[in-house]
Amino acid sequence: MKKLLLLLVAIAPLALMSCGGNEQNQSASASASASAASTAVDAFPWDFPQDVTIEAEPGQLVLAPYTSYPSAIKDGDDLNKAVLIFYKTTFEKGDKTSSALGGEKAQIPNALIIPLKKGEKAKVGDILLTWWQGGSGMQRAIVLDASNPEQPKVNFLDLSFDRGSQADKESMGEKFGNKELEPNSFQIVPDGEWVPGAQVACRADGDWEAGTLIREQGGKVLVSGFASHVKAYDKNDCKLIPFNEDIKVGDMVHAVFVDGYDDGYKVTAVDKKAGTVTCEKNGRSKVYTKPNVTKVL
């Protein structure tokens, strides 16, 4: 399976020491600066429709890369490689392709904006799309307690529940688990539907790349994947990964390793309420959350 390749960083050549060499360096530097300035950043490099309707009211909570996207544009970064973390902010106003967020401080493509429903009510076992309340960044969560359905208590499924070699310490998921959500800060992610927050596996170069669905439209899907990189795929190349899959001890499954699903994992424990599955491969055991284990591939 294709995994991350080490990137080699080129070392700049030594500057010429002579006066004439210095002038040449200054000239080359000025030429490079002019060239960089004349190169426009592609503000929407993904093969995905830009004409997207956002159904939200002014002040409504949304998830969007409202800080990292403008920063990447300003710095001239390739958005295909940029780290675009989805944080919570508020919707202000928009048109057919982009919207102003966070007190109109940021203009973001509509395709990268996920409105959160107002007045959503949850029940135990529901999978929710929200953000890490107490931390930051987009998260899926499983409902542990819905005594107050508008403020359920949850475990965050995009935090790690694996303790590794530190078995005597809490994992991130345990430390920040059983968290009560704010009202109007989440929406239910129904199983089997191409909606924001769904877990997907998409074919790329023969591998199943894992990610969180941002949006589906026109036979395309936009996905937040490994290291918060945004990628577009043909919908036909992707599969939904069920949250409520019937996974039992002894099953052989695919589990996420680095950026995609790998096979050959054996299930050794399942905690349906907490949303975790423990798997073993090559003598090593690890705790995964629901989105990261499947039998459908």
- 106 and 133, same domain (yes or no): no
pLDDT of res. 130: 98
pLDDT of res. 9: 28
Instruction: Out of 188, 214, 230, pick the residue that ends a domain.
Output: 188
Burial class of residue 60 in the structure, from the number of CB atoms within 10 Å of its CB (0-12 exposed, 13-18 middle, 19+ buried): middle
Provide DSSP, 10-28: PPPPPPP-SHHHHHHHHHH
Tell me if 261 is assigned to some domain. yes
Tell me if 235 is assigned to some domain. no
Provide DSSP, 56-115: --TT-EEEE-TTHHHHHHHHT--TTTS----EEEEEEEE-SSEEEETTTTEEEEGGG-EE
73: Cβ contacts below 8 Å, ≥ 6 apart:
41, 43, 79
Q: Which residues sit opposite 107 in a β-bridge?
A: 100
Number of domains the chain is built from: 3
pLDDT of res. 195: 98
Residue range of the domain that includes 173: 127-188
Tell me if 146 is assigned to some domain. yes
The owner of tokens 């390739």 is: 78
Instruction: Out of 155, 170, 188, pick the residue that ends a domain.
Output: 188
Tell me if 219 is assigned to some domain. no
Q: Give me 90's structure tokens.
A: 């508020």
Instruction: Out of 188, 219, 236, pick the residue that ends a domain.
Output: 188
Tell me if 96 is assigned to some domain. yes
Could you give the C-alpha distances from 89 to 72, 100, 102, 138, 259, in angstroms and in order?
A: 18, 10, 5, 11, 27
Tell me if 93 is assigned to some domain. yes
Q: How far apart are CA 148 and CA 140, in angstroms?
A: 19
CB distance 63 to 138 below 8 Å: yes
Q: Split the chain (297 residues) into runs of 10 and give each run's mean pLDDT.
A: 37 31 40 41 96 96 97 96 97 96 93 97 98 95 98 98 92 97 97 97 97 98 98 98 97 98 98 98 97 97
pLDDT of res. 31: 37
Tell me if 141 is assigned to some domain. yes
Tell me if 222 is assigned to some domain. no
